[in-house]
């Protein structure tokens, strides 16, 4: 008898990865602030909260991806996936600066962003990815990367356009660089990942990637304010 785990891997595992990623998009849309950002009606505090929390994980993307790639090479496994991880680390370099620039145009200094409280979701997300990168199955980092880039190709550009169209936030036109850039880039990045992951047949790696995508689906939607605008202020 096959276990549930074995049923999820094999030839169809990339379809399961897409299913996890669609689940992430649905979970984000179901958050109060996720719905508002999709409608373009998110208020300034909610958008700042989202950007600040995004900064606190995006700043670690390059080291997480690069360390996973180099460790995979040291382990002598999947050189093509190691190269993909290292390449993705380079792709992510400097994206935290886009967030700081968007936040500056909304009146938030770098010092304020640095001092802001991180949400438990951000700590869980970075903690999980540092664990898999440095100590777990390093290919797992590709699971969170895939799910977030899938979300990005599906939502980032739309969010940027609607926030600008509704213009509920002063200076919003100068504060959507992070979203606009990801909307433009991540469609190609998802297609490339799918192409490179296609030949992967190792069930342990497939399972690690799927599990990590599931972690992203569970954790990432909580980077938005809990309960939307009625929640605690971000900075103490």
**Nearest to residue 151, comparing CAs of 198, 128, 183?**
183
The DSSP element (H or E) to which 186 belongs, if any, is helix 177-197
Minimum CB separation of residue 195 from Fe ion in Å reads 14
Q: Can you give the three-state secondary structure of 116-162, one letter per residue?
A: CCCCHHHHHHHHHHHHHHHCCCHHHHHHHHHHHHHHHHHHHHHHHHH
Shortest Cβ 39–Fe ion spacing (Å): 24
What is the rounded distance in angstroms from the CA atom of residue 102 to the CA atom of residue 107? 9
Output 102 or 186, the one with its CB closest to Fe ion. 186
Q: How far is the CB of 154 from Fe ion (least distance, A)?
A: 13
CB of 185 to Fe ion, least distance (A): 5
9 vs 84, which CB is nearer to Fe ion?
Answer: 84
Nearest-angstrom CA–CA distance, 79 and 74: 10
Question: Could you tell me the smallest distance in angstroms from the CB atom of residue 203 to Fe ion?
Answer: 27
Query: Which is nearer to Fe ion, 9 or 189 (by Cβ)?
Result: 189
Site of interaction with Fe ion (CB under 5 A) = 92, 95, 149, 186, 189
Single out the residue of 154, 167, 147, 123 nearest to residue 34, CA to CA: 154
- Whichever of 98 and 128 has its CB closer to Fe ion, that residue is 98
Closer residue to Fe ion in complex, CB, 78/189? 189
């Amino acid at each position: 008898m096959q276990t549930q785990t074995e049923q999820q891997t094999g030839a169809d595992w990339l379809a399961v990865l897409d299913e996890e990623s669609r689940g992430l998009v649905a979970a984000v849309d179901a958050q109060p602030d996720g719905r508002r950002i999709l409608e373009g009606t998110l208020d300034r505090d909610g958008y700042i909260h989202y950007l600040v929390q995004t900064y606190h994980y995006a700043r670690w993307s390059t080291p997480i991806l690069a360390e996973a790639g180099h460790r995979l090479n040291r382990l002598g496994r999947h050189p093509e996936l190691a190269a993909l991880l290292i390449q993705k680390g380079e792709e992510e370099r400097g994206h935290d600066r886009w967030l700081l620039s968007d936040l500056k145009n909304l009146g938030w200094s770098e010092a304020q962003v640095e001092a802001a409280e991180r949400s438990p979701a951000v700590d869980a997300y970075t903690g999980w990815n540092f664990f898999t990168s440095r100590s777990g199955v390093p290919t797992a980092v590709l699971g969170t990367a895939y799910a977030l880039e899938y979300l990005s190709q599906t939502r980032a550009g739309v969010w940027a356009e609607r926030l600008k169209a509704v213009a509920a936030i002063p200076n919003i036109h100068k504060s959507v660089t992070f979203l606009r850039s990801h909307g433009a880039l991540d469609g190609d990045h998802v297609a490339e990942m799918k192409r490179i992951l296609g030949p992967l047949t190792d069930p342990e790696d497939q399972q690690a990637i799927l599990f990590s995508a599931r972690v992203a689906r569970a954790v990432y939607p909580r980077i938005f304010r809990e309960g939307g605008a009625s929640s605690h202020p971000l900075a103490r």
